[in-house]
Amino acid sequence: MSRNDAAPGTVPSPSRRIRRLLSLLYVQCLIGVVAGAAVGWLWPTFGAELKPLGDGFIALVRMMIAPVIFCTVVHGIASMGNARAVGRVSLKALIYFEVLTTVAMVIGLVVVNVVQPGSGLHVDPSTLSTEGLPPEATESHESVAAFILSIVPDTVLSALTGHEILPVLLISVLFGFGLNAAGQAGRGITQGIEKLSKVLFTLIRWIMRLAPMGAFGSMAFTIGNYGLDTLHHLFLLVGSFWLTALFFVLVVLGTVMRINGLRLLPFLRYIKEELLIVLGTSSSEPVLPRMMAKLEHAGASKPVVGITLPAGYSFNLDGTAIYLTMGAVFLAQALGIDLGLAEQLSMLTVMLLTSKGAAGVTGSGFIALAATLSAVPHVPVAALALIFGIDRFMSEARALTSVVGNGVATLAVAKWEGQLDERRAKAVLSGEIPYNPAPDHDRSPETTETPEAAEESAPKESSDRDRGPVPAIG
């Protein structure tokens, strides 16, 4: 009998409650963020030197993303068995992405034109220089044709060893269809890929234990390198951007959830660990594997999750979409450049392209903004120097908005495709079905039931969990 079963009616002691609280990953990440901010504020030089902690954690997760996406997408398509169904899911996802991305950009345009955070700065363009900007911001950017061709990797293996998501998706989709076409010969490979994905998620589980350290190092660097006073200089832009992102999440994404019979706030509570990791690391990539597991646990089918969520990381960057419109118009206002409606709409059209394919890592939004400015003649690229110092403080909002947006998109596409167990989703989001009921909350996602496994094992769920190595869980 476990300790929890031995005294069902007793109240845990304060020390035990504290230990259980500290064992939660989101609490550890919150402590890491607060501690990192304190270190960066009190010892700026030392805090700035802690950047490798955050970079190292992100690098470890990025190392796993390509094989995780490959295994998940391939298994999802192969198990779906119907090429037409895969195409239907992909088309619905892409239409959703384009609509929501456009809505995000329009909201950003409206806010920046109403608030006008750059008006009154009267910056002389001749005083601006690209010196000090990252090399990626000043190099020439690829054309539409080059962008499309870059999706095709040199080799199958090079797609899995790179850091771009779109080539991995291309190879995964082709391989999944190939397994479908192979019939019986492909079933053994499909089962092997499913087993490999379990190994990969186990490695992800181990790596995620380092998330508090990564959040600590990233936050210490941000505050130590840029200082708290950095926010004061361009507070209006930073503040209006955060509020716009919050409005988009609560109103637009909240409406999407309502349309699909779910509520946003319970969903935000459900992914609070992932949001704190994103807040600490300023990157949405580290939580991709965990988001996939949680969305499956919430009742979305594995094929829909495997197709929609990874694709959203390239095509549905809502936070970056808001940032692009607000950043570009802010720079025009600061330089005294009058952008009419036609110029802003033409810029928005370019942004619909430049916002695609950007990885969910720190600084990708800034590079996308540089690509936009280099493609339109209205604002010089050198103007990016005005916001380079505070870009880091907006990257958290970009990443947070995009993570929530992609989670909502996956649930919405699953619902429209009839691949969402809505009753289970409501139970999971309300806490009736915990993601990880055991104290070892960081169990790998595969050990929690998938929607398919949950339906098969629901009648004997409690008895199954009482068998086997229970002492390690209790």
CA atoms of 368 and 380, how far apart (whole Å): 14
User: 184: domain CATH number?
Assistant: 1.10.3860.10
Domain count along the chain = 1
- Residue 183 within a domain: yes
pLDDT at 239: 86
Contacts by 366-373, CB closer than 8 A, 24 or more apart: 366/134, 366/137, 366/391, 366/395, 367/134, 367/136, 367/137, 368/320, 368/324, 369/323, 369/324, 369/327, 369/328, 370/133, 370/136, 370/137, 370/138, 370/141, 371/141, 372/324, 372/328, 372/347, 373/328, 373/331
- Residue 447 within a domain: yes
- Residue 466 within a domain: no
pLDDT in tens, 380-430: 777 777 776 667 778 888 889 989 999 999 999 999 988 999 999 999 999
Q: From the CB of residue 22, how many other CB atoms can be counted at a distance below 10 Å?
A: 10
- Residue 221 within a domain: yes
pLDDT band at 438 (very low <50, low <70, confident <90, very high): very low
Checking if the pLDDT of 136 tops 60, the result is no
pLDDT in tens, 55-96: 787 778 778 777 877 887 787 777 666 667 777 888 888 899
CA distances from 203 to 106, 198, 293, 302, 381 (A): 40, 9, 14, 20, 41
- Domain extent at residue 426: 22-453
Q: How much is the mean pLDDT over the chain?
A: 76
- Residue 16 within a domain: no
- Residue 229 within a domain: yes
Residues 6+ apart with CB under 8 A from 184: none
Checking if the pLDDT of 350 tops 60, the result is yes
Q: How big is the CA angle at 118 (ends 117 and 124), to the nearest 5 degrees?
A: 165
pLDDT at 23: 74
Which range has the top average pLDDT, 129-138, 202-211, 313-322, 418-427? 418-427
* Region 227-254 average pLDDT: 80
- Residue 472 within a domain: no
* Region 298-309 average pLDDT: 88
Contact 358, 371 (CB under 8 A): no
Q: From the CB of residue 426, how many other CB atoms can be counted at a distance below 10 Å?
A: 17
CA atoms of 205 and 440, how far apart (whole Å): 11
- Residue 3 within a domain: no
